[in-house]
Every structure is written in C-alpha cells, then in structure tokens.
Amino acid sequence: MQVLQEQLEIGPDPTEVARARRWARSRLAGAGVDADESLAETLILLISELVTNAVVHTGCPAVLCMLLPRQRGQGGQYGPAGPVRVEVADASSRPPHRRQAEGEDTNGRGLELVSGLADRWGWEREAGGKRVWCELDTTPRTPATGHEFGPGASGRTTGMGARPGMGQALGPDVSCGAPLLPEALRLGAFG
C-alpha cells in the first residue's frame, strides 16, 4: 500500500475555496478516484467546508493537505486502500467553533456538515496555529452512530465518533507531517 500525500498553499481569500476544490478533484482523479464516485463528491465537500472555515473565520493563509492510501488493484490501476485524511492548517490559534444555524441563516453549518459526513474529525493546536482534520473511510458506509466533539487526549479536542465496522482509522496522530505553514506563507507571500 502507498500513501499519496498532496499539499496546497491557500491564501486568505474566499476565491481560494474554488481553487482548492479544483485542485482536490485533479488529485483524486490522478489517484484513481472517479469524480462521480460518492467518495470524491464527499471529499470535495469536506475540503470545501474546511478551507472555507480557515479562510473566512481566520483571515490567515492556510495549507490544505490530503493523505490518500492507495493500492494497485486488478488491471494495474490504483484505487483507495484505507481512510482518506484531509487537513487544513492555519496560523490562527483560535479553535474551531461548532454553531447551530437556524432557519434562513446563510452560515454556521460547516462543521455540522463535516461532523455528519466525515467518519472522524477533530483539531489540534500546533506551534503557530492549529490543524483541523477529518477522515473518510473508503469502505461502504453504514448508518452513522453520531459524532462527538469534546476534550480528547493530550489537551486536544477531537471528534472521534466512528461508524461501526469501518476500516482502520489513521487517527489524530497521523498527519501530513509538514510544517504548519511554510515560511513564505507566514510572511504573506502567496502565489
């Protein structure tokens, strides 16, 4: 099994969300995930929500990272081989905040969507900011048992609601391993 790791630097501009979606679609296609598969559609929505939260609520540049375990299947084609992990790291130390949107509210649903779609999600403080992550199992889904968002180990807050019968989770200690933000982003050089 291989783990494909892809990373994208994101500027503090709402138009970056569309660029992140295009980037993710191209990386998933390159990894053998068809754009029409529910896995791809769900991952794109999760990426869109996490990047939107980083850009809109922090005003800081961010780094989007996707870890896609894959293996060669029949016919030599690569395909998903385990949970896909998406991370968005930003320079804000302010924790993500789940809100309850009401009726006609135009925002406040992002983390609720992430909680409902991801098999696991959470966030971690890091030197210079935080990293919000989610994982999506690539095996067939069963009905959700619900997700919790509360204090986790080591002072982290994590959403560790897992669906029964799913594959091995990557867990909160598996990460892209990249520095939180490259120096060029910390200094405001985007491009």
Write out pLDDT tens, residues 171-186.
Answer: 444 455 544 444 444 4
Are the beta carbons of 78 and 28 closer than 8 angstroms?
no
Distance, CA of 4 to CA of 47 (rounded, Å)? 16
Q: Indicate the domain borders of the chain.
A: 2-186
Q: How many CA atoms lie within 13 A of 139 on its CB side?
A: 13
CA atoms 52, 175, 119, 6: torsion sign = positive
pTM above 0.85, yes or no: no
Mean pLDDT of all residues belonging to the chain: 73
Confidence band, pLDDT 50/70/90 cuts, at residue 59: confident
Q: In this predicted model, which residue has the larger pLDDT, 169 or 49? A: 49
Joined together, the tokens standing for residue 136 give 């999506």
Three-class SS state of 134: strand
146: left (phi over 0), alpha (psi -120 to 50) or beta: left
Integer Cα distance of 56 and 16 in angstroms: 11
CA–CA gap between residue 27 and residue 6 (Å, rounded): 8
Could you tell me which residue, 97 or 17, shows the higher pLDDT? 17
CATH 3.30.565.10 fits 2-186, yes or no: yes
CA distance 153 to 22: 35
